Structure 1
């Protein structure tokens, strides 16, 4: 029961900005979560917190300690990145369009529509009012689109849709902070950046970039007859005005510092000074030159500036990006990465990596521009994930989706290492063969394909005499026979794996065959159909249906228990039925209508409690030991039941994202109008970012899977559930992607078999006296992971057989789990393998008798050993070739 959320796979990048921290971690928003991708270790992990809706903007503090994430409802989360915990929450009163930390990390600039606000950044301390509003600037007449701080955190560049860039001071009173305006652009501002000297950090140049592909360079200048006492409290003429043109004829450049002699003058802050420097927003700026990227009719959609390298990267709506050296405007790279709009383009801190995001393709790229090579190239599924399957060793996960693609992921790293795209229609079922290196997939295009995961190719295609749509798939334990159920002809097709020949067509069902599974122990095939029956077939004997289990409602799916002695199926009335496949008897029935009931849909006319739609399970999955069952459906919940007692143990809420439909139990009556819910009214703004969710409704002029008509939001649902053979994790294919849940390792205390004398001190005392058997037994009774591992390593190799044979059988599972965990992280491989060998010798008969309860732990051990074997094989092969090379070179030198 001790499962918690660990990762999110298969979800596409849907828009918003991305950033790279100082320790080479790429942060990007995925729905209402934030994904952290380590570009050095090549691992990705989803942060454990959730926003209330899809995240629109993220920004990190300069020291990488904090993250501020703002969602579409203007609700912000202030997160401790190192501890991955939410510290504070705040709700802004308007939609947030721009966000930026000051270089010293003390201030946060927030663009709220036409307003600019500066907030005091909270820290690690718990405060009643963590966010403090310093000041608000209402000077912009258009929506704020770009922000940039000066290196000293005293000035702020603000670009907006009113075609102007304003230079503000973050200090001083409101009356003395009238901004300087940079004018001349003919389209909305996309970026505005300060350029400073490398040694002194003094700002002397400003770059402004507009949507029409123009970049203006502005230089800081001064006038020789500029009166200090008057100029410090007056506004210089803005570029492009008659006053500015007349003043340019009468003034020449002088140094910025103005000496005030013989008397004390007051500067803009009201302090008496002898030497005063003109503030940047009061100084004079001159337009040096205008440059154009020449990508018309494409629009400039993303840009970033690296201050140390003085380089600009820009992305366009036609998929082209450019890298330019400033201020000479020298093009270093001009390349195309797609034909779709680039929605984000970012430098890392060193400036050697460029990060690009394309919301329409759901793609993220990290490119090293000097070597012209990819550091990262990841793309999630274009549409909803339909099916998932674990490999027998639990190291890989295969996913199939409505985008016709099949992806294989490494579970430990969270990365997709191969995408298979030969299918021409939605992939509806995937299945791993027992050899761990062959993958099967079924599709609505009428084919079942077999994939070789060594060469990454489709080596066999199974077809039917006439086109059919396949929705279920299974293979027998030996891997000789492949079976697939159809949606349209209600038949089950049987092929030979070796020859690819169609062996048999099993007929008898009168509805779509949505459930199909072979028994893990024999060749009996179970199928479920919408014709209200579950049928058992003896495929090898060819006698047709061996037995039929009738139900009162449509049967939606069927699964076998891992030992093959029980069968579970879900029906349309919300029940889960458990059958004995040998005797043909109904064993248990669980009523889950109330448990699976989710939130209210926006199109529902009844409340969630009174609605009858969606209150059934569409996918089932047994736990690794067969004592529990997981069930999911068209709901925000996944239910976990104890089979023997028929009770609900736990409900997992897969999301709290209000951007999805069916999350709220009660709808907000304020959003109801005479024309229906506000969210269903088509009032599309052309400036709204187009991403994965919006584009599905525009293809071919009709709605595709995963979309709702009339611009409705995607509905939260679970399409497939699978548990890893090791039993340590399980995965759910949901609307947001593939959610991974694993056992919480921090849960260590289990009060079983405890006594007053069973203490950590007693374990240490036994170790000091070298009583390894007593110490290990005490640590197993305490069930503390660190103590168990400490006792394992305290045993001398010669004493391992004696200690292994004296271990009680009830502690075998916990001991095997400890060895599996150690083998994944410990360098003492031979010592641990010696332990495993002696345990198997001493308790082989007991392991065989208790195989059902020990199976998850044994599979975890097998997974660790096979991974070690693979790593050692690669290392030995590399060393062998290296030694051959060294021997050949030494021979030549002699």
Structure 2
């Protein structure tokens, strides 16, 4: 019940800008969530909160503490990155195209429509309205496309689609004539501005140049000229002005006492001259992304053709000109040191971090382009495999969130995945008519199972020994059986009259269960060749079938929204859960009925038992995932997979104001803008294939869950959804839950027992209190010679909690041999009890196995590396 969102895997980068904070943290928008990747530790995590629609712009504060994120609807979240919490929320009145913190972190510049707004950056204080609007510049004649701050945070460059760049001053001068307050304009570009940047003198650190870049691939260099502007003398007494409370006489020129290092002139009132025009010569490709590093004077540019270039300024020397892909680069940026370049391609869902000096990749991650259809956990719960409609299989490290291998041999959508018991072999089924076996040591396809005539496979299963592979078909309604060793087709099981979408072997014997749209669940004895052993009839189509981990119960879901539980031994229906009302919710844009009256999507298409079999997870074509108690048939909890209004089926009630005679307002395509003008939506349907008068969904994805899997350890579970693969875990979110609390069970009593050298009593008291830190403290306090006696005194009811603590200590504690001795004595003393109650202890035992396996692999790699190093040193020292 304590599962909380942990990470999002397999989701592609869909657009927006990516930033690098603290020189090593890559922050990027992933749909309506934000992903943070540590480039040094090779770990990625997704922040636990969501926006109401896809995030389009993000900006990080200079100290890396705060992050501001704005979605497509102008809703803003102000985030504390270190605490991973949202501090403030607000909404801009217009869509935001660019946003940036000032170098001193005090202000935030926002390009909202034609306006440039300067907001004071909020802090940690609780305020009624933390965002304070300081200035608003309304000089632009078209949409603002980019902003850049001067190093002293006093001036701002703003580029616009009106082909100009304007230089604004943040200071307010009282009594200033409006005609003199107009910003300086950099003119000459022939297309919309993509980037505008300040350049500084390395010796004085004063602003002395400006670079402006436009979509046609032109870069203009501007220089500040230390000349006085010709202004008419004002007759009579000189006027007086106040700047930030400082009184001064306004002489022939407006001189700011704070701008002495810029020659005594205000930059927006001085004279700028065009020094140089350069062109990247990438026509017909358009310039789509750029960034400038002030310290190294480097410019990085990305084009719509997938080409990027790195240039040394001001001489415009090309350092690198390479191609990332054939699709448009939507973001390009430097890190603080300027040695890493970050590129993003929304069309491919790809993020790259490239070190330009060594010409090597720091990060190369790409999510699934289309929906994830199926997922599978490895037996030790360390790996998670995903298969999608893009014909690819990806294997992820669950703890780090990184994909370390991608298989792309399939030529059609991947529909089913299954890990073998050995943990190093993965099976996959596809609509291309093949079942493939993958070696996770050598990362290759070592066996391919085919049929005499082409079939489309939609389900997959393997027996416990790994000798037999079975796959169900979509078109011929048959189940094919192969030998894993030889790859030969052994048998074809016929009898179903509809697609076989569910397939699973019993965990205890060789009985195969299959579910089909012909309203039956069939049991097959594969090894004896007897064919169908028993048939369980239903009144509606059966969508999926799963075995309980002990093999004594069978669960299947039907099209009427019910979950049926069968006894596979006696062939009796045990009980039924009615889930139509639980999963119902969400109205599509094209629905003519309300969500309450609609019959679509009110059924479960995927089921998964917990490791102990006490509860079951169910999901389908809805934004909800339901958790049921199997014994009592009650709903324990509902998980909502997304709050993203960019998806269809998230709202229960649609706004009638958005409904017109031609259909929903959101589905009417009245966009006449150029495709290259912004991020091309990857989900948009090509309107040239739409029939006249037909109302298409414009490619809006529908919120749903295609596959659910609970990890063998039982500590986490994953769901393949429209947003990606959501991972929920309770490893990092332990909640205090006393198991046997009494008035004498207190932390003081535990400390007293430790002080009196009573480790057995202290450990039992800590287990009764169920406080994680105290249990670990008591375990470490036991002397190695006393481990056997302490283990013998522990009652059986505390073994589950103790084994979970050992699994956590093995992952974080440096006392490896000490904890392994605990595990060894625990197995010797309570081995018989553990074997008799293996079902209840299975999740904890799986967690312990996962921790020991991971340590074994790490130690093996370290020993191998040391062995090769010693051999090398011995070979070099022996030579004369």
**TM-score normalised by structure 2 residue count:** 0.95
Tell me how far apart the structure 2 counterparts of residues 297 and 790 of structure 1 sit (CA, whole Å): 67
Per-residue Cα deviation, 1:408-447 (whole angstroms, up to 9, x for no partner): 1111110111110010000000000111111100000111
Q: Following TM superposition, by how much is the alpha carbon of 1:513 offset from its aligned partner in structure 2, in angstroms?
A: 0.3
- Aligned partner of 2:40 in structure 1 is 40
Q: Following TM superposition, by how much is the alpha carbon of 1:600 offset from its aligned partner in structure 2, in angstroms?
A: 1.2
Tell me how far apart the structure 2 counterparts of residues 172 and 22 of structure 1 sit (CA, whole Å): 33
- Aligned partner of 1:836 in structure 2 is 823
1:488 partnered with 2:480: no
Query: Which of residues 265, 268, 272 is equivalent to 2:251?
Result: 265
Give the SS at the match of 1:449.
strand
- Aligned partner of 1:75 in structure 2 is 75
- Aligned partner of 2:561 in structure 1 is 574
Asked if 2 retains the 8 angstrom alpha-carbon contact of 1:636 and 1:663, the reply is yes
Asked if 1 retains the 8 angstrom alpha-carbon contact of 2:75 and 2:91, the reply is yes
Per-residue Cα deviation, 1:217-258 (whole angstroms, up to 9, x for no partner): 000013368569779xx9xxxxxxxxxxxxxxxxxxxxxxxx
Seen in structure 2, the aligned counterparts of structure 1 residues 889 and 136 have a Cα distance that, compared at 3 Å, is same
Seen in structure 2, the aligned counterparts of structure 1 residues 891 and 113 have a Cα distance that, compared at 3 Å, is same
Asked if 2 retains the 8 angstrom alpha-carbon contact of 1:534 and 1:550, the reply is yes
Tell me how far apart the structure 2 counterparts of residues 270 and 823 of structure 1 sit (CA, whole Å): 63
Give the SS at the match of 1:811.
helix
Asked if 2 retains the 8 angstrom alpha-carbon contact of 1:120 and 1:131, the reply is yes
- Aligned partner of 1:616 in structure 2 is 603
Asked if 2 retains the 8 angstrom alpha-carbon contact of 1:97 and 1:111, the reply is yes
Tell me how far apart the structure 1 counterparts of residues 871 and 484 of structure 2 sit (CA, whole Å): 41
Tell me how far apart the structure 2 counterparts of residues 630 and 546 of structure 1 sit (CA, whole Å): 28
Matches within 5 A, 1:165-176: 165-173=165-173, 175=178, 176=180
Asked if 2 retains the 8 angstrom alpha-carbon contact of 1:590 and 1:646, the reply is yes
- Aligned partner of 2:530 in structure 1 is 543
Q: Following TM superposition, by how much is the alpha carbon of 1:696 offset from its aligned partner in structure 2, in angstroms?
A: 6.0
Per-residue Cα deviation, 1:661-695 (whole angstroms, up to 9, x for no partner): 11111111221111111111122344467768535
Q: Following TM superposition, by how much is the alpha carbon of 1:880 offset from its aligned partner in structure 2, in angstroms?
A: 1.3
Query: Which of residues 393, 415, 427 is equivalent to 2:402?
Result: 415
Tell me how far apart the structure 1 counterparts of residues 324 and 65 of structure 2 sit (CA, whole Å): 33
Q: Following TM superposition, by how much is the alpha carbon of 1:264 offset from its aligned partner in structure 2, in angstroms?
A: 6.8
Tell me how far apart the structure 1 counterparts of residues 359 and 252 of structure 2 sit (CA, whole Å): 54
Per-residue Cα deviation, 1:791-815 (whole angstroms, up to 9, x for no partner): 0011111100111111100000100
- Aligned partner of 2:202 in structure 1 is 198
Asked if 2 retains the 8 angstrom alpha-carbon contact of 1:264 and 1:272, the reply is no
Asked if 1 retains the 8 angstrom alpha-carbon contact of 2:16 and 2:55, the reply is yes
Give the SS at the match of 2:269.
coil
- Aligned partner of 1:868 in structure 2 is 855
Q: Following TM superposition, by how much is the alpha carbon of 1:359 offset from its aligned partner in structure 2, in angstroms?
A: 0.6
Q: Following TM superposition, by how much is the alpha carbon of 1:177 offset from its aligned partner in structure 2, in angstroms?
A: 3.0
Over aligned residues, Cα RMSD in angstroms? 2.1
Seen in structure 2, the aligned counterparts of structure 1 residues 121 and 68 have a Cα distance that, compared at 3 Å, is same
Query: Which of residues 181, 186, 189 is equivalent to 2:185?
Result: 181
1:498 partnered with 2:502: no
Q: Following TM superposition, by how much is the alpha carbon of 1:884 offset from its aligned partner in structure 2, in angstroms?
A: 2.1
Of 602-611 and 403-412, the range deviating more from structure 2: 602-611
- Aligned partner of 2:243 in structure 1 is none
Q: Following TM superposition, by how much is the alpha carbon of 1:700 offset from its aligned partner in structure 2, in angstroms?
A: 10
Q: Following TM superposition, by how much is the alpha carbon of 1:698 offset from its aligned partner in structure 2, in angstroms?
A: 3.5
1:585 partnered with 2:572: yes
Q: Following TM superposition, by how much is the alpha carbon of 1:277 offset from its aligned partner in structure 2, in angstroms?
A: 1.9
Q: Which blocks of at least 5 consecutive residues in structure 2 are unaligned?
A: 239-247
Seen in structure 2, the aligned counterparts of structure 1 residues 710 and 716 have a Cα distance that, compared at 3 Å, is closer
Asked if 1 retains the 8 angstrom alpha-carbon contact of 2:684 and 2:698, the reply is no
Asked if 1 retains the 8 angstrom alpha-carbon contact of 2:365 and 2:403, the reply is yes
Q: Following TM superposition, by how much is the alpha carbon of 1:268 offset from its aligned partner in structure 2, in angstroms?
A: 4.4
Tell me how far apart the structure 1 counterparts of residues 229 and 704 of structure 2 sit (CA, whole Å): 71
Per-residue Cα deviation, 1:4-49 (whole angstroms, up to 9, x for no partner): 0000000001011000001501000000000000000000000111
Matches within 5 A, 1:367-378: 367-378=354-365
Tell me how far apart the structure 2 counterparts of residues 228 and 801 of structure 1 sit (CA, whole Å): 97
Query: Which of residues 627, 630, 634 is equivalent to 2:617?
Result: 630
Tell me how far apart the structure 2 counterparts of residues 2 and 225 of structure 1 sit (CA, whole Å): 69
- Aligned partner of 2:298 in structure 1 is 311
**TM-score normalised by structure 1 residue count:** 0.94
Seen in structure 2, the aligned counterparts of structure 1 residues 563 and 181 have a Cα distance that, compared at 3 Å, is same
Per-residue Cα deviation, 1:307-356 (whole angstroms, up to 9, x for no partner): 00001000011111000000000000001111111111100000000000
1:301 partnered with 2:301: no
Asked if 1 retains the 8 angstrom alpha-carbon contact of 2:102 and 2:108, the reply is yes
- Aligned partner of 2:227 in structure 1 is 223
- Aligned partner of 1:129 in structure 2 is 129
Seen in structure 2, the aligned counterparts of structure 1 residues 629 and 557 have a Cα distance that, compared at 3 Å, is same
- Aligned partner of 1:774 in structure 2 is 761
Q: Following TM superposition, by how much is the alpha carbon of 1:191 offset from its aligned partner in structure 2, in angstroms?
A: 0.3
Q: Following TM superposition, by how much is the alpha carbon of 1:72 offset from its aligned partner in structure 2, in angstroms?
A: 0.5
- Aligned partner of 2:805 in structure 1 is 818
Asked if 2 retains the 8 angstrom alpha-carbon contact of 1:719 and 1:733, the reply is yes
Q: Following TM superposition, by how much is the alpha carbon of 1:701 offset from its aligned partner in structure 2, in angstroms?
A: 4.6
- Aligned partner of 1:670 in structure 2 is 657
Asked if 1 retains the 8 angstrom alpha-carbon contact of 2:372 and 2:387, the reply is yes
Q: Following TM superposition, by how much is the alpha carbon of 1:198 offset from its aligned partner in structure 2, in angstroms?
A: 2.3
Tell me how far apart the structure 1 counterparts of residues 259 and 750 of structure 2 sit (CA, whole Å): 72
Give the SS at the match of 1:465.
coil
Matches within 5 A, 1:429-828: 429-687=416-674, 694-695=682-683, 697-698=685-686, 701=689, 709-743=696-730, 745-828=732-815
Tell me how far apart the structure 1 counterparts of residues 295 and 341 of structure 2 sit (CA, whole Å): 15
- Aligned partner of 2:54 in structure 1 is 54
Per-residue Cα deviation, 1:458-509 (whole angstroms, up to 9, x for no partner): 1111111111100000000100000000001110000111111111110110
Seen in structure 2, the aligned counterparts of structure 1 residues 317 and 132 have a Cα distance that, compared at 3 Å, is same
Asked if 1 retains the 8 angstrom alpha-carbon contact of 2:417 and 2:426, the reply is yes
Matches within 5 A, 1:220-369: 220-223=224-227, 226=230, 265=251, 268=254, 277-369=264-356
- Aligned partner of 1:64 in structure 2 is 64
Tell me how far apart the structure 2 counterparts of residues 570 and 316 of structure 1 sit (CA, whole Å): 50
Per-residue Cα deviation, 1:711-739 (whole angstroms, up to 9, x for no partner): 14110000000011000100000001000
Q: Following TM superposition, by how much is the alpha carbon of 1:269 offset from its aligned partner in structure 2, in angstroms?
A: 8.6
Seen in structure 2, the aligned counterparts of structure 1 residues 274 and 743 have a Cα distance that, compared at 3 Å, is closer
Asked if 1 retains the 8 angstrom alpha-carbon contact of 2:567 and 2:574, the reply is yes
Tell me how far apart the structure 2 counterparts of residues 607 and 695 of structure 1 sit (CA, whole Å): 25
- Aligned partner of 2:109 in structure 1 is 109
Tell me how far apart the structure 2 counterparts of residues 752 and 392 of structure 1 sit (CA, whole Å): 29
Q: Which blocks of at least 5 consecutive residues in structure 1 are unaligned?
A: 235-261
Seen in structure 2, the aligned counterparts of structure 1 residues 571 and 37 have a Cα distance that, compared at 3 Å, is same
| Number of residues of Structure 1 aligned to a counterpart in Structure 2 | 861
Seen in structure 2, the aligned counterparts of structure 1 residues 739 and 24 have a Cα distance that, compared at 3 Å, is same
Asked if 2 retains the 8 angstrom alpha-carbon contact of 1:367 and 1:376, the reply is yes
Per-residue Cα deviation, 1:243-301 (whole angstroms, up to 9, x for no partner): xxxxxxxxxxxxxxxxxxx9873864999999992210100000001000000111110
